[in-house]
Amino acid sequence: MNIYDILISKKHNKHYLNRYYKFILQCLDNNINDSDYYEEHHICPKSNDLFPEYKNLKFNTWNKVSLTPRQHFIAHFLLWKSYGNSQSYAFWAMCNGQKNKHQSSRYYKINSRIYENVKKDALKVHINRKGKCTYIDFQGNKTYCSTNDVRVLSGELTPLSLGRKYKWNHSSEYKHKYNHDVRKRMWKDKIVNLYFLETKIQIKVTFGMPEIIPYLDQGWSLRRTREHHSYTASQSNKNRNRK
């Protein structure tokens, strides 16, 4: 499998993509099991706008590399400079995610210029995706479209994995009351947890949770990851041993 040919198949910045590829090759050659902590990294990003077909590392072992926290940070920085778009969110989330003992400030400190540039790129992606969501039809086909799409308003498409279930066979008055009750009882000031590897963040959401769509597209999960479970378990064991 020629990884470089896959990477250049998407629109990219050639200079930074070459730097990223060389950096990954160095990590593959030099990283050995002398570190007490490594993080898994998808060489070809798994986001929907890049290479989601290589997301499963069990079947695509060539797409996995073990990186130290510092190397992982550098890899996402280079991916942001190479591709932009969804990788802006990945790098932004990494800069602003919850830190642990392995993610110390000396690894994740960025200057004001980088902060401004990545923030602007992330906002551009957010604006482009505003008012859009992933929906599913009665045959199970997924569609990413506007919330004002005719198929959404008619009930042909329903939201995917966002906790909303509409009873389209009822009158419009019933649907309005049903949606109002759901807003009032379930979605007022709701906080949800998102997980990426060992990182956990909390996001304040509104009805339908459109705020989490960019994170889900980037690979964040609403379910607790194995990496986060392992990290919290190790922390609990250390605290128990101290006592």
Q: Where are the domains of the chain?
A: 3-128, 132-184, 185-243
Q: What is the spatial distance between Cα 232 and Cα 136, in angstroms, rounded to a whole number?
A: 35
Residue 223 has a pLDDT of 85
Q: At what angle do helices 86-96 and 112-129 cross, to 10 degrees?
A: 130
How far is the C-alpha of 70 from the C-alpha of 238, rounded, in Å?
23
Q: How far apart are the C-alpha atoms of 90 and 95, rounded to whole Å?
A: 9
At residue 169, the pLDDT reads 47
Please give the Cα distance from 208 to 221 (Å, whole number). 16
Per-residue pLDDT at 186: 47
pLDDT, residue 198, reads 83
Cα dist from 83 to 18, 25, 45, whole Å: 12, 19, 10
DSSP string, 129-145: HTTEEEEE-TT--EEEE
| Binned average pLDDT, 10 residues per bin, the chain of 243 residues | 89 92 90 70 90 89 87 89 86 65 48 64 69 75 78 73 46 53 53 87 79 84 84 78 68
C-beta of residue 155 within 8 angstroms of C-beta of residue 168? yes
pLDDT at res. 21:
94
pTM: 0.49
pLDDT at 144: 77
- Predicted confidence at residue 32, as pLDDT, reads 67
N-to-C CA span, the chain: 50
- What integer pLDDT is reported at residue 29 of this predicted model? 84
Alpha-carbon distance of 99 to 212, in angstroms, equals: 20
